[in-house]
A and B are shown apart, each in its own frame.
Chain A
Amino acid sequence: MFNFEFMQNAYLAATVIAILCGIIGVFVIARNMSFLTHTLSEIGFAGASFGVFMSWPPLNGMLLFTTVSSIIVGQLSVKPARRENVISAISALFIGLGILFLSLSNKNASYATNILFGSVIGISRADVWQISLLSIVVLAVIFVIFRYLKFDSFDPVGAQVKGVNKQILSIVFLILLAFSVSVAAQIVGSLLIFILLTIPAAVAKYFARTVGGMMLLAVIIALIGVWLGLYLSYVTNLPVSFFIATIEALFYFGALLTQGSQKSV
């Protein structure tokens, strides 16, 4: 399997993406941002279509759209009560734009399917480098702001009392999330991005007691999902996103069952 360069590239990219998603996912879960992550993936689809329309690489269009929209969401929805409505409106707008750009660019339906569901064979060595570079940037920023981000994500009341600048922190995190969504879309596609960004961290939340522990566990669960998913996809010739989604969902239901049986003891 590793004789093929496209499989080497897919495994390298998937490994980087799993590490990134496992780590950032812990903050997505703690900050209750699963819904926004889902929306950013739809915005990513619109961005990719725009990229195609402009004859850019789809990743560049995605980065542009997800970053701009996350800044808008951050500015408009400081109050949590308003957040879901703002996100819904922005989501609707961007899906509309995605369909428009795709239809204007005269690409066929299979191209749209690739954007939505991801593609393993489409990843070149240059893509691997770009994905790695973006991931390193995101992880480096998290490393620098880690203690503030951790406090604000896991104890917003305490962080506010301490005087942590929540608005700046929130916008920085949204931009990091936008980058992560765009990067992760390369493997699982924009429609299923939230699988890697939310499920591994949601499972880890049930078993780990420290933020570091949650990150480690989430990365392991994400890695098992992408490695096994790529292998099964190679063997069966079925879509990789199907396998990754199924594996991660099984992890989640397994975790719920374990928790349920622990509580009933």
Chain B
Amino acid sequence: MVSEPILQINHLTAGYNDAESPVLKDLNFTINQGDFLSIVGENGVGKTTLMRTILRQLKPLKGNVDYFPSAHAVNIGYVPQFRNIDSEYPLSIRDFVGLNLTGFKLPWLSRSERKRVNDMLVHTGLQDLANRPMGQASGGEKQKAYLAQALVEEPDLLILDESTASLDPVSKNELLNLVEEINQKLQVTVIFVTHDIALAKKYASKFLLLAPGTYVSGNIDELTNDKVWGMMESHV
């Protein structure tokens, strides 16, 4: 089966102030439906800029981002790295997951919306913890709840932005096993942004390696340590 593209980036130049010193320059790549793409690179190479451009929070300085079949039809779920959830945060995991069901609708969730929340709690293994306050959940459980919240809107494309950065190795693998299962079972396309090359190689099917002013992309088995170090060193 030939995969259809879901997102195509053509000659993208992106940054914040002006086109003279952009963070990303002339970037080209395609993400197909069902891909598990890992975007790797050091701090400051433009991973967040690229994510903000894909999320349509930042306009390209040059070039364009095309969504298929259309920009409106592609529903994007995003799991950011940081959330302000302290130990006194009152909402239960179930209520937190349901926050993403917005719209000018009745304040309470409908029966079908409640079912969607429950299904996602089951998918992410949180069904037994659904009534626990988010403030008392562990780091791994919180990340699963963020994931469930992003998934409750049934996205076509799921972006995990450094979501595993603060987790211990066991929780990292647990979360990514879950993402892998969602990618395969629910056919959700995944973009996983990370520093961790080993983790990217273990789970992703494709990669995009960003370095200052340049990039390389391909199938994940082409991502070798030599390639990574070569790109990093040439810009030191």
A79 at the B interface (CB under 8 A): no
Considering only residues 37-64 of chain A, those with a C-beta below 8 Å from chain B are none
Q: Are A157 and B102 in contact (CB under 8 A)?
A: no
Q: Are A161 and B80 in contact (CB under 8 A)?
A: yes
CB distance from B130 to the nearest CB of A (A): 10
CB distance from B100 to the nearest CB of A (A): 6
CA distance A155 to B107 in the complex (A): 16
CB distance from A88 to the nearest CB of B (A): 23
Q: Are B99 and A157 in contact (CB under 8 A)?
A: no
CA distance A147 to B109 in the complex (A): 10
Q: Give the residues in chain B near A143, CB-CB below 8 Å.
A: 107
CB distance from A19 to the nearest CB of B (A): 15
Q: Give the residues in chain A near B57, CB-CB below 8 Å.
A: 163
B171 at the A interface (CB under 8 A): no
Q: Are A209 and B133 in contact (CB under 8 A)?
A: yes
Q: Are B99 and A151 in contact (CB under 8 A)?
A: yes
Say which one of B81-89, B178-186, B195-203 lies at the interface with A.
B81-89
Q: Are B102 and A164 in contact (CB under 8 A)?
A: yes
Q: Are B105 and A147 in contact (CB under 8 A)?
A: yes
CA distance A47 to B56 in the complex (A): 43
Q: Are A212 and B82 in contact (CB under 8 A)?
A: no
Q: Are B102 and A147 in contact (CB under 8 A)?
A: yes
**Set B84, B104, B105, B146: member contacting A156, Cβ < 8 A:** B84
**Set A144, A209, A212: member contacting B104, Cβ < 8 A:** A144
Determine which residue in B55, B100, B101 has the highest number of CB atoms from chain A within 10 A of its CB, and name it.
Answer: B100
A245 at the B interface (CB under 8 A): no
Q: Are A157 and B80 in contact (CB under 8 A)?
A: yes
Q: Give the residues in chain B near A144, CB-CB below 8 Å.
A: 104
B96 at the A interface (CB under 8 A): yes
Number of A-B residue pairs at CB separation under 8 A: 63
CA distance A154 to B83 in the complex (A): 10
What bracket does the count of chain B residues touching chain A fall in? Answer: 20 to 34
**Set A146, A156, A206, A209: member contacting B107, Cβ < 8 A:** A146
What 1/0 mask marks residues of chain B from 86 to 118 whose CB sits below 8 Å from any chain A CB? Answer: 001011100110011111110110000000000
CA distance A13 to B236 in the complex (A): 70
B78 at the A interface (CB under 8 A): yes
Q: Are B92 and A209 in contact (CB under 8 A)?
A: yes
Q: Are A214 and B90 in contact (CB under 8 A)?
A: yes
Considering only residues 64-101 of chain A, those with a C-beta below 8 Å from chain B are none
A133 at the B interface (CB under 8 A): no
A211 at the B interface (CB under 8 A): yes
Considering only residues 135-155 of chain A, those with a C-beta below 8 Å from chain B are 143-148, 150-151, 154-155
Q: Are B83 and A211 in contact (CB under 8 A)?
A: no
**Set A145, A155, A164, A212: member contacting B96, Cβ < 8 A:** A155
Q: Which residue of B lies closest to A207 (CB)?
A: B90
A211 with B95, Cβ < 8 A, contacts A147-B102, A147-B105, A205-B90 known: yes
Q: Give the residues in chain A near B166, CB-CB below 8 Å.
A: none
A145 with B104, Cβ < 8 A, contacts A157-B80, A158-B149 known: yes
Give the interface of A toward B (CB within 8 A). 143-148, 150-151, 154-159, 161-164, 205-206, 208-212, 214
Q: Can you spell out 8 A-B residue pairs with CB atoms less than 8 angstroms apart?
A: A150-B99, A150-B107, A155-B149, A157-B80, A162-B102, A163-B57, A164-B102, A212-B108
Q: Lowest 4 A-B CB distances belong to which pairs?
A: A146-B107, A209-B92, A161-B78, A147-B102
User: Known pairs A155-B83, A209-B133. 16 more at Cβ < 8 A?
Assistant: A143-B107, A146-B107, A147-B102, A155-B96, A157-B82, A158-B146, A159-B99, A161-B55, A161-B80, A163-B56, A205-B88, A209-B90, A209-B131, A210-B91, A210-B92, A211-B95
